[in-house]
Amino acid sequence: MLKDNLREYIIARKKELNAVIMAHYYQPAEIQDIADLVGDSLQLARQAAENPAQVIICCGVKFMAESAKILSPDKTVILPSSEAGCPMADMATAEALRQKKGEYPGAVVVSYVNTSAEVKAESDICCTSSNAVQVVRSIPEDKVIIFVPDKNLGRFVQGQTGREMVLWDGYCPIHDKLSLEDIKKARKRHPSALLAVHPECRPEISAMADAVRSTAGLLEYIKNSEAQEFILGTEAGFVHTLNKHCPDKKIYLAYEQFICKDMKLIDLEKLAGAMESRENRIEVDSKISGKAREALDRMLQIS
């Protein structure tokens, strides 16, 4: 089917299903353009909980679709690609987290939303890169904090809050790959550009950046900055978002292969197929969902 026909079908089918299409900033351009809502993990989590649609089409990866289901248990949540996972989320399991909690009795577990439902259920509060600093600041200073699973985000939060935390040995393979050599090369090519990076990057990268923000934060920073050129230290799909919102700005990827393959598994054909068949529905066991919901709800109460 031609792309124009696919788009027409998706729009018509969305009305039939009473559905909303949500897409992460890292999704392919064609998916962002047809989505009703485009955002980062925190924005999509809030919108999933508040949107009146009965069917949520989550164009992202599994942990995002699980979060949408946990926050909207009575709604149908569909992930167009069942293979869309997150390597960082896979680095933490509920069993391993239980063992770690046993080593630190009474500790508060802060889990990044980039985790499975099972890990969230073992956590006290979730966070995103948008509100991780605020979440950690909300925890009493006499409490030990276990931060799961991104050690790079954890180190960034430690630097912002002064809180020592027990950091999980996890990371985003895409952001963690960005090296000082990549930055040196990018700055040599674009000497007038500011460096804006995601906090999932390594600490030495964050330390030399002009701005360290979540994806939504990067959008606001670049949109409001007087500068005209930026070296971007996050996933390639976000360039499309920035070009739409900041057409007068020049955006350069910190390195050309800044691509999350999992975020690129959904295309118009898969989206249309999932909406037609209503397969790849996301289900979360009620016992797990209830506990995970508490951690997500606490996160959503912190701006």
Nearest to 54 by CA among 18, 80, 22: 18
- In the DSSP assignment, the letter for residue 193 is P
Domain residue limits, the chain: 3-85+263-283, 89-171+291-300, 180-259
Nearest to 295 by CA among 163, 63, 49, 110: 110
The predicted pLDDT at position 1 comes to: 61
pLDDT in tens, the chain (303 residues): 667 799 999 999 999 999 999 999 999 999 999 999 999 887 887 887 788 999 999 999 999 999 999 999 999 999 999 999 999 999 999 999 999 999 999 999 999 999 999 999 999 999 999 999 999 999 999 999 999 999 999 999 999 999 999 999 999 999 999 999 999 999 999 999 999 999 999 999 999 999 999 999 999 999 999 999 999 999 999 999 999 999 999 999 999 889 999 999 999 999 999 999 999 999 999 999 999 999 999 999 986
Using only the alpha carbons of the chain, give its radius of gyration: 19
Token digits for 64?
Answer: 């995002």
Nearest to 174 by CA among 93, 236, 119, 218: 236
Residues 3-85+263-283: name the CATH superfamily.
NadA-like (3.40.50.10800)
Token digits for 280?
Answer: 């790849």
Phi/psi for 65 (5° steps) reads -65, -40
Judge whether 89-171+291-300 and 180-259 match in fold: yes
Residues 180-259: name the CATH superfamily.
NadA-like (3.40.50.10800)
